């Protein structure tokens, strides 16, 4: 059988038209901004981070005036970076802010309006309390990553996709090699199938998926499963690009004290995938912020690990740029946020409970024109923004409609990620406050 | 015909005797006896057997009976003289064991037969026996596509369901069972009650138990202490569980002593070092199995309740704890009657935690007078309490929250999904006090939290020296009063507006062994326990959560979502009522869930996009978890995907997290859809399995699971060959996909033919199943490689698989060059395939194994 006959046979079998998508998929490579959300899981204490408080306030439980933070009680002072970012003298903050402060914009005083974890996470990362809205990272992957095999990496946190895309959990790179080249046997320089046989199988698969997706009476579940398989398979061949960037050594999974510290490895794999042009967005998670007891010690560990991760993120991106000639650092768009904040007082167990006001930190190479937006009162209560987005420092005069809420954060992030085309499907209630001009 | 029977009867002296595995001689017929066989769908199995098979087989009863000549010579086929029904059962057993040898023997097709040639491969007798093989093979294809019933439940009447036979098949796969055989499928084809009976019958055995525990863990996540970053022993700690490390410590001390006796080289070939290695292995086993037993204790309780058909309420009311020898010896040591193997991790029995102390040097008995800890099923499980810990300010609210969620189906956090009053958020420090909007939820939550009062933040019973489980800061406060067990400022312990009886206000529970026992008694009589149980098992059985109540009327899909949610809630209530009406049998509940549209929905007759979107997680298309896919491989292929040295399949090892596994710690959610990494896993799986399966199945003497209707010589260019291949494709698709739609059979046939013709188009395609350039000399082209793992996967199956290159003579090669491959094949078996018929099967198998309907159910 010559090639002509073969194609005729393919055509007769309904296989030939499906060959085109594979050719299309092979040419894709994402070179745009990389959107990274770092989730500080459990509710971080921003009064010991980027919204530092060194005073006292009323503890409503005891009715007494108490120190908001022990470090302030010990007489330590709030520090600041050259560009005016204020930070608490706590954990590894100095290294974090002095290293990365120039890349940051801190948004303080975000009122999540809840102190329940699930509601706080959902609200912060989707912009509303009700279910169903996708995360910004999912939207970015859906819009910019069609056809990419690893468009949206997720290690946990809020990863609702609303059916627009699917997430991937990246794990052990030693096994990753087997997945990059599934046609190659382990330990033998060979392959399972000849290329032209694989072509026939691939064409038959595609034809089959097309038939399945064309059966509109089937359950949505099977249709969606077929659709996601279709898009995943179309981009699968591009996984080979990972080979060029796989690290020789893995980032450690424990910190210097032997504690579990997985965020470095999450970052490393996300950057590898981004360098290969396969990833648009990634969710990273730093666990350990829900510090109802022994707050200073536990929160300090979590914050230090978070700082460690953020510094590693930028350093590793720069190193890879140098090694591989990639352009990662200038493409990173990072946001760090949490469920909410923590009470501006300690409980009986020296812990801190949930507090609705929190912060977010945005980072990009070159930084922002404005380094701090919003804020809270000395008592850590909500403050509103003026028309020019400056802070109205009088809590008594706070305009409720101009207090920063998660919807405003998400509006900003959607704008940043150029995914505002989804706003009509997933509208945000932002009222008159609009932070988008902060991005310049 | 008559003459045939005479010959046949004489041949019965040695018919089917022994297990001859010799490769076919040159005189073997070349046409397979099963080449063009179809099931006569006008006759059921009984009719077919009595009218067609029995007249043939009863002639055999002089030899193939217990004590008969053939049986004495080793024949495994036995007839029950004069008893057609029993003989039919025996025939089924034989076909399960030996497949098409039933027909190959008397036709002398590729095997020898002491009774000689009885009838030709194209004779009516051969056709009858071949049809018997087809009918009685496990999961043979169906006569026709069964009708898809329309759902009868309100809210689902626009939905068509998969047929009863397909429902049974799907259930078998989801629960890890073997595929149902044809007879069983025929039994359920038109009968819902028969289907219920068969669904219930699936729920037994180790695979079902593994499914049960896996499904429970998806909720309870207790395997965090097995698979996550925290080890169970370390989490529970030796302070309270005084003997926790006793057995492990002794084992490692013994291993260390043995290692010292051995010297520096533990691998040395001395008796001391052999002992040292054994001791080390034993110590590791004790440590690991103790960890597993602790982590799986609540899951084992569920298994115990379900598999013993106890009322499901016992998962909360059990006044015992499940232990195996690894935990029994360190936690109990006094309850069990009778002997046990101290190293048997499968010997689970009820026990009590007796070896517990409330502080260093203070035994439970000395301080409390108790011999053992109180038990309230899962609620008092040490790993459950540790997995959902508390703090001084949380005050067991998280435990109460999960208790509501797991056992009552109530998500407290969703009772008020809205912005909260900002002033209250800042001002209210006791949300359980009346006067704030917090009270709405906390009035439900806090009393339940208080029933956990005897269990400390880390889950230890009366962890303050045996007096109570209150923190020192509270003991030193003005609120504390002697003998209190709970915070005075909090709502007292209770549930559903019932206050827990106590000896004194905020004091110990009165009339019950523990607050949790009182709580368990309250929960299991609450209506929501039944609906909560239905919802608990959604994830394990249906791969999803129940639909969430839509909350935003402005959402474009709100109306359709609301309608879907309401219908599902109605169904959940009905299922809950069934559960109550059937003595809280979880098996019975699971059967009804599998009968329902939740499990069986396949098509919408007429549905708007909004309706389809609202039901986007309904019915078929459920992505199999790595655990389920691993078991499905075994069920449909007859083997798992694993390396020789692995205890478990690769889907549960190397690729577990890549393919959607959870570690019950940081990774607790499974993906709903495939991503590119998962697609890659499936492609590697198919590539590694397909050729090996083809090689093994076509090896002479090997039972045929996947390819019972074709032979290595089945010629796709002939009408009979195409028919056989199509029939086999139908068989494969039923096994792997559960559907046998003609259009899909056509497509698979087209692929087979295209692959076959492609091979013929190549210059000198390899006659071997595997070709690797680096092993074939410098002229070999790597681009023409087709690697195939060639090995004898099971050396104990009675069929030795090995390539005997040295046995091939020049004349064998000459014969091959003259168009007769059999002499060479006598030494190489299915590895030698100059006909090029097998590699297309490899391709088809890859196609089927990587299809979405193989990966979903």
Per-residue pLDDT of chain A (440 residues; tens, 9 = 90+): 333 343 333 334 333 333 333 333 444 789 999 999 999 999 999 999 999 999 999 998 888 999 999 999 999 999 999 999 999 999 999 999 999 999 999 999 999 999 889 899 999 999 999 888 999 999 999 999 988 989 999 998 998 999 899 888 877 767 888 898 899 999 899 999 999 999 999 999 999 999 999 888 899 999 999 999 998 988 888 888 998 998 888 899 899 999 989 999 999 999 999 999 999 999 999 999 999 989 999 999 999 999 999 999 999 999 999 999 999 999 999 999 999 999 999 988 899 999 999 999 999 999 999 999 999 999 999 999 999 999 999 988 889 999 999 999 999 999 999 999 999 999 999 999 999 999 98
d(CA B155, CA B145): 26
pLDDT at B70: 78
Q: What is the mean pLDDT of residues B842-850?
A: 98
pLDDT at A150: 92
pLDDT at B267: 92
pLDDT at B87: 86
Residues of chain B above pLDDT 90, percent: 69
pLDDT at B303: 98
What are the helix and strand counts (H, E) for chain A? 13, 15
Structure tokens at B424: 């209250």
pLDDT at B31: 61
pLDDT at B419: 80
Spatial CB neighbours of B731, under 8 Å, sequence gap ≥ 6: B137, B139, B140, B141, B706, B708, B709
Confidence band, pLDDT 50/70/90 cuts, at residue B34: low
Spatial CB neighbours of B397, under 8 Å, sequence gap ≥ 6: B390, B442, B445, B446, B449
Cβ-defined contact of A149 to B675 (cutoff 8 Å): yes
- The A residues from 285 to 304 touching B (CB cutoff 8 Å) are 285, 287, 292-293
Confidence band, pLDDT 50/70/90 cuts, at residue B33: low
d(CA B104, CA B108): 6
DSSP at B162:
-
Mutate to test the interface with B, among A134, A197, A282 (most CBs of B within 10 A): A197
Largest CA distance in chain A: 91
The answer to whether residue A195 neighbours chain B at the CB level (below 8 Å) is yes
The answer to whether residue A209 neighbours chain B at the CB level (below 8 Å) is yes
Nearest to B684 among A116, A179, A262 (CB): A179
Confidence band, pLDDT 50/70/90 cuts, at residue B567: very high
At CA B464, angle to CA B462 and CA B468, rounded to 5?
50
Q: Which residue of A has its CA nearest to B615?
A: A220
What are the helix and strand counts (H, E) for chain B? 39, 8
Cβ-defined contact of B675 to A166 (cutoff 8 Å): yes
Mutate to test the interface with A, among B390, B395, B411, B426 (most CBs of A within 10 A): B426
Q: Which residues of A touch B774 (CB under 8 A)?
A: 188-190
Confidence band, pLDDT 50/70/90 cuts, at residue B23: very low
Q: What is the mean pLDDT of chain B?
A: 90
Q: How far is A329 from chain B (nearest CA, A)?
A: 26
Q: Which residues of B touch A255 (CB under 8 A)?
A: none
Q: Which residues of A touch B616 (CB under 8 A)?
A: 163, 220-221, 224
Confidence band, pLDDT 50/70/90 cuts, at residue B125: confident
User: pLDDT tens digits, residue range B497-523?
Assistant: 999 999 999 999 999 999 999 999 999
User: pLDDT tens digits, residue range B415-470?
Assistant: 877 788 777 877 787 888 888 888 889 999 999 999 999 999 999 999 999 999 99
Residue B546 pLDDT more than 70? yes
Cβ-defined contact of B393 to A222 (cutoff 8 Å): no
The answer to whether residue A258 neighbours chain B at the CB level (below 8 Å) is no
DSSP line for A8-36: HHHHHTT-GGGHHHHHHHHT----S-EEE
Burial zone of B416 (CB within 10 Å; 0-12 exposed, 13-18 middle, 19+ buried): middle
Q: How far is B498 from chain A (nearest CA, A)?
A: 26
Cβ-defined contact of B774 to A190 (cutoff 8 Å): yes
User: pLDDT tens digits, residue range B151-205?
Assistant: 999 999 999 999 999 999 999 999 999 999 888 998 898 899 999 999 999 999 9
pLDDT at B79: 87
DSSP line for B200-254: HHTS-HHHHHHHHHHHHHHHH-TTHHHHSSS-HHHHH-TTTSTTTTHHHHHHHHH
- The A residues from 141 to 160 touching B (CB cutoff 8 Å) are 149-150, 155-156, 159
Cβ-defined contact of A292 to B783 (cutoff 8 Å): no
Residue B28 pLDDT more than 90? no
User: pLDDT tens digits, residue range B735-746?
Assistant: 999 998 889 999
Residue B640 pLDDT more than 80? yes
The answer to whether residue A242 neighbours chain B at the CB level (below 8 Å) is no
Q: What is the mean pLDDT of residues B369-396?
A: 95
* Helix, strand, coil percentages in chain A from 3-state DSSP, rounded to 5: 40, 15, 45
Cβ-defined contact of B786 to A168 (cutoff 8 Å): no
Mutate to test the interface with B, among A222, A282, A356 (most CBs of B within 10 A): A222
Residue B328 pLDDT more than 50? yes
Q: Which pairs count as long-range contacts for A54-61, CB under 8 Å and 24+ apart, including other chains?
A: A54/A78, A54/A88, A55/A378, A57/A344, A57/A345, A57/A378, A57/A379, A57/A380, A58/A379, A59/A345, A60/B426, A60/B427, A60/B428, A60/B429, A61/A345, A61/A347, A61/B429, A61/B430
Burial zone of B465 (CB within 10 Å; 0-12 exposed, 13-18 middle, 19+ buried): exposed
Model pTM score? 0.83
Cβ-defined contact of B551 to A222 (cutoff 8 Å): no
At CA A111, angle to CA A107 and CA A113, rounded to 5?
160
At CA B43, angle to CA B37 and CA B48, rounded to 5?
70
pLDDT at A138: 96
The answer to whether residue A169 neighbours chain B at the CB level (below 8 Å) is yes
pLDDT at B20: 33
3-state SS assignment for residue B179: coil
| Structure-model confidence comparison of residues B7 and B131, the more confident one | B131
Mutate to test the interface with B, among A146, A175, A288 (most CBs of B within 10 A): A175
pLDDT at B19: 31
Q: Which residues of B touch A262 (CB under 8 A)?
A: 666
- The ipTM assigned to this model is 0.83
pLDDT at B851: 98
Spatial CB neighbours of A188, under 8 Å, sequence gap ≥ 6: B772, B774, B787
Cβ-defined contact of B603 to A219 (cutoff 8 Å): yes
Q: Which residues of A touch B673 (CB under 8 A)?
A: 166, 224-225, 228-229
Q: How far is A377 from chain B (nearest CA, A)?
A: 13
Cβ-defined contact of B658 to A175 (cutoff 8 Å): yes
Q: Which residues of B touch A217 (CB under 8 A)?
A: 603-605, 607
Cβ-defined contact of B425 to A193 (cutoff 8 Å): no
User: pLDDT tens digits, residue range A107-143?
Assistant: 999 999 998 898 999 999 999 998 889 999 999 999 9
Q: What is the mean pLDDT of residues B642-659?
A: 91
Q: Which residues of B touch A170 (CB under 8 A)?
A: 677
**Direct distance between the N- and C-terminal alpha carbons of chain B, in angstroms, rounded to an integer:** 47
Nearest to B760 among A1, A150, A287 (CB): A1
Q: Which residues of A touch B654 (CB under 8 A)?
A: 172, 175, 178
Cβ-defined contact of B676 to A149 (cutoff 8 Å): yes
Q: Which residues of B touch A116 (CB under 8 A)?
A: 413
- The A residues from 413 to 432 touching B (CB cutoff 8 Å) are 425, 427
Q: Which residues of A touch B601 (CB under 8 A)?
A: 219
Q: How far is B9 from chain A (nearest CA, A)?
A: 48
Cβ-defined contact of A262 to B601 (cutoff 8 Å): no
d(CA B830, CA B694): 8
Nearest to B675 among A14, A128, A168 (CB): A168
DSSP line for B684-715: HHHHHHHHHHHHHHTSTT---SS-SS--TT--
Q: Which residues of A touch B229 (CB under 8 A)?
A: 260
Nearest to B758 among A118, A200, A228 (CB): A200
DSSP at B457:
T
Q: How far is A256 from chain B (nearest CA, A)?
A: 16
User: pLDDT tens digits, residue range B263-293?
Assistant: 999 999 999 999 999 999 999 999 999 999 9
pLDDT at A235: 84
The answer to whether residue A167 neighbours chain B at the CB level (below 8 Å) is yes
Helix axes A220-236, A195-213, angle to 10 degrees: 150
At CA A239, angle to CA A236 and CA A240, rounded to 5?
125
Residue B308 pLDDT more than 50? yes
Cβ-defined contact of B393 to A226 (cutoff 8 Å): no
d(CA B448, CA A111): 30
Q: Which residues of B touch A192 (CB under 8 A)?
A: 687-688, 690-691, 786-788
Nearest to A130 among B391, B552, B839 (CB): B552
């Amino acid at each position: 059988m010559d090639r002509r006959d073969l194609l005729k046979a393919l055509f007769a079998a309904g296989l030939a038209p499906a060959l085109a998508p594979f050719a299309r998929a092979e040419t894709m490579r994402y070179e745009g901004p990389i959107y990274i959300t770092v989730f500080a899981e459990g509710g971080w204490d921003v009064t010991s981070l980027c919204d530092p408080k060194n005073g006292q306030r009323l503890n409503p439980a005891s009715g007494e005036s108490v120190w908001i933070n022990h470090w302030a009680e010990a007489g330590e002072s709030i520090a600041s970076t050259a560009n005016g970012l204020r930070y608490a003298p706590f954990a590894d903050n100095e290294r974090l802010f002095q290293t990365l402060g120039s890349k940051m914009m801190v948004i303080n005083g975000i009122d999540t309006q809840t102190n329940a974890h699930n509601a706080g996470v959902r609200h912060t990362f989707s912009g509303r309390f009700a279910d169903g809205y996708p995360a910004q990272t999912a939207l970015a992957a859906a819009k910019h990553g069609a056809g990419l095999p690893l468009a949206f990496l997720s290690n946990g946190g809020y990863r609702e996709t609303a059916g627009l895309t699917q997430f991937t959990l990246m794990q052990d790179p030693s096994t990753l090699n087997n997945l990059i080249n599934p046609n190659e046997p382990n330990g033998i320089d060979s392959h399972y199938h000849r290329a032209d046989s694989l072509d026939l199988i691939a064409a038959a698969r595609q034809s089959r998926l097309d038939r399945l997706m064309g059966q509109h009476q089937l359950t949505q579940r099977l249709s969606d499963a077929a659709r996601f398989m279709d898009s995943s398979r179309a981009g699968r061949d591009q996984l080979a690009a990972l080979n060029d960037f796989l690290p020789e050594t893995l980032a450690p999974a424990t910190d210097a004290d032997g504690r579990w510290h997985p965020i470095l490895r999450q970052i490393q794999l996300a950057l590898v995938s981004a360098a290969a042009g396969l990833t648009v967005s990634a969710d990273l998670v730093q666990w350990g912020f829900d510090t109802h007891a022994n707050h200073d010690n536990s929160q300090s560990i979590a914050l230090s690990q978070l700082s460690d991760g953020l510094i590693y993120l930028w350093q590793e991106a720069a190193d890879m740029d140098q090694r591989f000639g990639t352009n990662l650092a200038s493409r990173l768009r990072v946001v760090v946020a949490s469920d909410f904040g923590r009470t501006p007082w300690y409980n009986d167990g020296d812990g801190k409970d949930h507090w609705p006001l929190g912060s977010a930190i945005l980072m990009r190479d070159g930084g922002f024109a404005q380094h701090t937006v919003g804020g809270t009162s000395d008592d850590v209560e909500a403050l509103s923004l003026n028309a020019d987005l400056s802070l109205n420092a009088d809590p008594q005069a706070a305009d409720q409609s101009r207090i920063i809420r998660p919807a405003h954060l998400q509006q900003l992030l959607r704008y940043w990620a150029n995914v505002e085309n989804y706003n009509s499907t997933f509208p945000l209630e932002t009222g008159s406050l609009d932070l988008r001009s902060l991005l310049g | 015909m008559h003459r045939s029977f005479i010959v046949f009867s004489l041949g019965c002296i040695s018919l089917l005797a022994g297990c001859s595995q010799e490769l076919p001689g040159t005189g073997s017929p070349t046409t397979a006896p099963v080449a063009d066989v179809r099931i006569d769908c006008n006759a059921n199995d009984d009719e077919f057997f009595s009218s067609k098979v029995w007249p043939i087989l009863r002639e055999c009863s002089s030899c193939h009976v217990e004590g008969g000549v053939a049986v004495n010579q080793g024949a495994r086929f036995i007839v029950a003289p004069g008893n057609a029904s029993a003989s039919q059962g025996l025939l089924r057993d034989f076909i399960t064991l030996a497949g098409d040898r039933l027909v190959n023997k008397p036709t002398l097709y590729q095997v020898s037969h002491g009774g000689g040639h009885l009838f030709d491969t194209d004779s009516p007798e051969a056709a009858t026996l071949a049809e018997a093989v087809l009918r009685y093979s496990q999961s043979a294809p169906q006569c026709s596509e069964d009708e898809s019933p329309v759902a009868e439940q309100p809210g689902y009447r626009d939905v068509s369901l998969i047929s009863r036979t397909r429902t049974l098949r799907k259930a078998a796969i989801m629960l890890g069972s073997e595929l149902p055989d044809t007879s069983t499928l025929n039994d359920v084809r038109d009968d819902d009650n028969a289907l219920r009976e068969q669904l219930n019958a699936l729920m037994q055995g180790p695979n079902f138990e593994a499914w049960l525990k896996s499904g429970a863990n998806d909720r309870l996540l207790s395997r965090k202490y097995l698979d996550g970053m925290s080890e169970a022993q370390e989490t529970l700690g030796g302070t309270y569980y005084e003997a926790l490390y006793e057995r492990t410590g002794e084992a490692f001390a013994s291993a260390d002593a043995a290692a010292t006796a051995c010297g520096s080289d533990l691998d040395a070939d001395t008796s001391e070092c052999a002992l040292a290695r054994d001791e080390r292995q034993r110590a590791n086993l004790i440590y690991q199995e103790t960890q597993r037993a602790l982590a799986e204790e609540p899951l084992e309780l569920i298994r115990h309740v379900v598999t013993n058909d106890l009322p499901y309420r016992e998962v909360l009311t059990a006044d015992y704890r499940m232990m195996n020898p690894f935990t029994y010896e360190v936690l109990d040591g006094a309850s069990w009657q009778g002997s046990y193997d101290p190293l048997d991790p499968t010997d689970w029995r009820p026990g009590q935690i007796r070896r517990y102390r409330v502080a260093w040097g203070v035994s439970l008995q000395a301080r409390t007078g108790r011999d053992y800890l109180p038990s309230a099923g899962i609620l008092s499980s040490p790993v459950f309490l540790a997995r959902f810990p508390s703090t001084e300010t949380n005050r067991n609210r998280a435990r109460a929250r999960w208790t509501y969620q797991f056992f009552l189906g109530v998500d407290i956090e969703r009772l008020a999904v809205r912005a909260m009053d900002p002033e209250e958020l800042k001002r209210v420090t006791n949300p359980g006090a009346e006067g704030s909007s917090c009270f709405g939820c906390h009035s439900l939550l806090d009393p339940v939290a208080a029933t956990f009062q005897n269990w400390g933040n880390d889950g230890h019973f009366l962890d303050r020296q045996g007096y109570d489980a209150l923190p020192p800061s509270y003991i030193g406060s003005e609120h504390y009063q002697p003998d209190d067990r709970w915070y005075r400022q909090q709502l007292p312990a209770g549930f559903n507006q019932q206050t827990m009886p106590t000896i004194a206000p905020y004091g110990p529970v009165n009339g019950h062994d523990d607050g949790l026992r009182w709580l368990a008694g309250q929960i299991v009589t609450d209506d929501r326990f039944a609906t909560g149980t239905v919802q608990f098992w959604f994830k394990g059985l249906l791969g999803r959560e129940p639909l969430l109540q839509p909350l935003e009327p402005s959402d474009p899909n709100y109306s359709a979502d609301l309608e879907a949610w309401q219908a599902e809630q109605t169904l959940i209530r009905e299922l809950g009522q069934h559960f109550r009406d059937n003595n809280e049998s979880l098996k019975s509940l699971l059967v009804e869930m599998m009968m329902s549209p939740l499990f069986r929905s396949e098509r919408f007759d007429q549905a708007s996009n909004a309706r389809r979107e609202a039901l986007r997680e309904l019915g078929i298309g459920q992505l199999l978890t790595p655990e389920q896919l691993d078991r499905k491989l075994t069920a449909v292929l007859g083997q798992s995907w694993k390396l020789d040295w692995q205890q478990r399949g690769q889907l549960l090892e190397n690729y577990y997290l890549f393919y959607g596994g959870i570690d019950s710690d940081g990774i607790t959610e499974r993906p709903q859809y495939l991503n590119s990494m998962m697609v890659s896993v499936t492609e590697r799986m198919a590539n590694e399995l397909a050729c090996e399966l083809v090689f093994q199945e076509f090896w002479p003497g090997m039972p045929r699971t996947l390819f019972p209707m074709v032979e290595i010589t089945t010629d796709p260019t002939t009408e009979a060959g195409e028919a056989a291949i199509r029939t086999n494709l139908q068989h494969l698709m039923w096994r792997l996909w559960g559907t046998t739609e003609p259009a899909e059979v056509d497509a698979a046939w087209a692929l087979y033919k295209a692959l076959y013709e492609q091979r013929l188009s190549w210059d000198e395609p390899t006659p071997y199943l595997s070709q690797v350039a680096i092993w074939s000399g410098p002229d070999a082209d790597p681009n023409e490689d087709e690697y195939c793992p060639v090995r004898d996967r099971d050396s104990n199956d009675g069929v030795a698989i090995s390539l005997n290159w040295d046995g091939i003579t020049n004349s064998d090669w000459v014969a091959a060059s003259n168009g007769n491959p059999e002499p060479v094949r006598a030494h190489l078996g299915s590895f030698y395939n100059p006909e090029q018929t097998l590699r297309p099967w490899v391709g088809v198998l890859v196609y089927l194994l990587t299809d979405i309907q193989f990966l979903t159910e």
